[in-house]
């Protein structure tokens, strides 16, 4: 049995499940997975359905498409309407509903120039091929993708590309977790921390949360045994009253993260305030262009501003992202809101909680 087979071995998983039962000892545990990939992994692996009832899983704000704020959606749709602008974006944003039911997909059908790319570097090629137009890359994502976008901006500067811009909608995870824990409506008792983000930032940014709020946090991988071991570690730390930040994904995540990636990130960007869907403004939770790269900021260069935008009527994605409402308790879930007819972004993205619940048909009764 190789290492990956072991991480999916039913007997080993059953053993850890038994240890979770033993660790609970009458206590309860409400844990939140922060990463959208963990959301899908918990459902696809069946781990979600195997957990004891005393272990409650909450979905979190770990889907980059889902947390993109309504006003940010409105801003890039405004740019898409300009005749001299080409929007370059990852495909997940194409169907995200904006004001009045607008979306990039609809804008494209009506004549807007929108290019789906698979890497921010692809957007550079679009800019080089269209020197008479302004190419705007939509920079969504967390600490995982932001360094690659930063490297793209740096390369645009080195190539002297004056028609390439980024809308910096990036979000930083630790400030969002702090904001969630300070919300009196929240009742999270443990965090399953994102493996991909942690590979960049390491463990240190999470430690103040464990000290301030006294909750256990575990960096986890995405295989069934990874998920179960993370839950076991949280349950044991809660029982012992010794909350810590634990790295249970050492085969990928170094405790110190990736300093080279962070160096590129903070050469191009600097922390700034950011809007999160359902949560609102969180100080220091976003990234803005540093002075040396302001020329590549679409907001600065193209005169775009974020304007107040109302939440989508009936959409409860904000409550889902905060773990207050399970997706299947939304009145629109699987009725007016389906993957074919999404009302909100959590039903659009492949990492969205609502899409995952719908795909795996959880607790629909």
Instruction: Tell me the pLDDT tens digit for each residue of 178-211.
Output: 999 998 877 899 999 999 999 999 999 999 998 9
Opening angle at CA 25, ends 21 and 29, nearest 5: 75
Contacts of 66 (CB under 8 A, 6+ apart): 36, 277, 317, 321, 345, 346, 349, 351, 352, 353
Instruction: Tell me the pLDDT tens digit for each residue of 73-114.
Output: 999 999 999 999 999 999 999 999 998 889 999 999 999 999
Between 154 and 59, where is the model more confident? Answer: 154
Task: Give the per-residue pLDDT at 38.
Answer: 93
Q: Is the pLDDT of residue 4 over 90?
A: no
Q: What is the largest CA-CA distance in the chain?
A: 67
Q: Is the pLDDT of residue 262 over 80?
A: yes
Report the percentage of the chain scoring pLDDT > 70.
Answer: 98
Q: Give dist(CA 231, CA 233) in Å, integer.
A: 5
Tell me the pLDDT band of 5, cut-offs 50, 70 and 90. Answer: confident
- Neighbouring CB atoms inside 10 A of 58's CB total 23
Following DSSP, what letter does each residue of 275-308 receive, concatenated?
EETTTEEEEEEEEEE-GGGGGGBHHHHHT-----
Opening angle at CA 98, ends 268 and 295, nearest 5: 25
Q: Give dist(CA 225, CA 51) in Å, integer.
A: 13
Token digits for 139? 């920079």
Tell me the pLDDT band of 1, cut-offs 50, 70 and 90. Answer: low
- Neighbouring CB atoms inside 10 A of 364's CB total 10
Backbone angles phi, psi at 208, to 5 degrees: -60, -30
Task: Give the per-residue pLDDT at 364.
Answer: 54
Q: Is the pLDDT of residue 236 over 70?
A: yes
Q: Is the pLDDT of residue 290 over 60?
A: yes
Token digits for 309? 């935008």
Contact assessment for residue 34 and residue 317, using Cβ atoms and an 8 Å cutoff = no
Characterise 244 by phi-psi region: left (phi > 0), alpha (psi -120 to 50), beta (else). Answer: beta
Strand partners, 88: 115, 137
Q: Give dist(CA 116, CA 101) in Å, integer.
A: 20
Task: Give the per-residue pLDDT at 234.
Answer: 97
Instruction: Tell me the pLDDT tens digit for each residue of 123-165.
Output: 999 999 999 999 999 999 999 999 999 999 999 999 999 999 9
**HSE-up of residue 265 (Cα within 13 Å, Cβ side):** 22
Task: Give the per-residue pLDDT at 169.
Answer: 97
- pTM to 2 decimal places: 0.93
Contact assessment for residue 321 and residue 67, using Cβ atoms and an 8 Å cutoff = yes
Contact assessment for residue 302 and residue 165, using Cβ atoms and an 8 Å cutoff = yes
Q: Residues for the chain: how many in total?
A: 365
Q: Where are the alpha helices (DSSP H) in the chain?
A: 3-6, 10-24, 36-44, 47-50, 64-67, 70-80, 104-109, 120-129, 146-159, 173-181, 195-201, 207-213, 224-240, 259-268, 298-302, 317-321, 353-360
Q: Give dist(CA 178, CA 282) in Å, integer.
A: 9
Pick the closest to residue 142 from 235, 57, 65, 233 (CA basis). 65
Report the percentage of the chain scoring pLDDT > 90.
Answer: 87
Task: Give the rounded distance of the alpha carbon of 307 from its chain centre.
Answer: 23
Tell me the pLDDT band of 286, cut-offs 50, 70 and 90. Answer: very high
Rg of the chain (C-alpha set)? 21
Q: Give dist(CA 344, CA 114) in Å, integer.
A: 21
Q: Give dist(CA 229, CA 114) in Å, integer.
A: 43
């Amino acid at each position: 049995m190789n290492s990956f087979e072991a991480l999916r071995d039913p007997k080993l998983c059953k053993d850890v499940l038994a240890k979770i039962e033993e660790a609970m000892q009458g206590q309860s545990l409400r844990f939140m997975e922060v990463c959208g990939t963990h959301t899908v992994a918990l459902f696809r692996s069946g781990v979600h359905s195997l957990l004891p009832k005393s272990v409650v899983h909450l979905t979190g704000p770990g889907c980059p498409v889902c947390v993109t704020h309504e006003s940010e959606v409105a801003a890039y749709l405004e740019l898409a309407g300009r005749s001299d602008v080409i929007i370059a974006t990852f495909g997940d944003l194409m169907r995200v509903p904006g004001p009045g039911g607008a979306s990039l997909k609809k804008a494209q059908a009506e004549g807007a120039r929108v290019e789906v790319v698979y890497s921010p570097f692809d957007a550079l090629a679009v800019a080089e091929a269209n020197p008479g137009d302004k190419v705007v890359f939509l920079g969504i994502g967390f600490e995982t993708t932001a360094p690659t976008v930063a490297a793209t901006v740096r390369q645009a500067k080195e190539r002297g590309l004056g028609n390439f811009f980024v809308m910096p909608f990036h979000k930083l995870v630790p400030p969002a977790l702090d904001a969630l824990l300070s919300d009196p409506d929240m009742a999270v008792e443990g965090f399953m921390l994102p493996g991909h983000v942690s590979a960049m930032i390491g463990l240190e940014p999470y430690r103040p949360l464990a000290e301030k709020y006294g909750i256990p946090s575990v960096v986890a991988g995405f295989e069934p045994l990874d998920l179960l071991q993370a839950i076991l570690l949280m349950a044991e730390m809660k029982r012992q009253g010794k909350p810590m930040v634990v790295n249970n994904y050492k085969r990928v995540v170094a405790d110190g993260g990736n300093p080279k990636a962070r160096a590129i990130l903070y050469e191009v960007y600097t922390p700034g305030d950011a809007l999160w869907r359902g949560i609102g403004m969180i100080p220091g939770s976003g990234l803005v262009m540093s002075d040396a790269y302001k020329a590549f900021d679409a907001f600065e260069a193209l005169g775009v501003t974020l304007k107040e935008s109302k939440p989508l009527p009936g959409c409860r994605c904000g409550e889902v992202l905060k773990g207050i409402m399970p997706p299947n308790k939304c009145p629109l879930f699987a009725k007016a809101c389906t993957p074919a007819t999404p009302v909100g972004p959590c039903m659009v993205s492949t990492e969205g909680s609502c899409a995952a619940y719908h795909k795996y048909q959880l607790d629909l009764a």
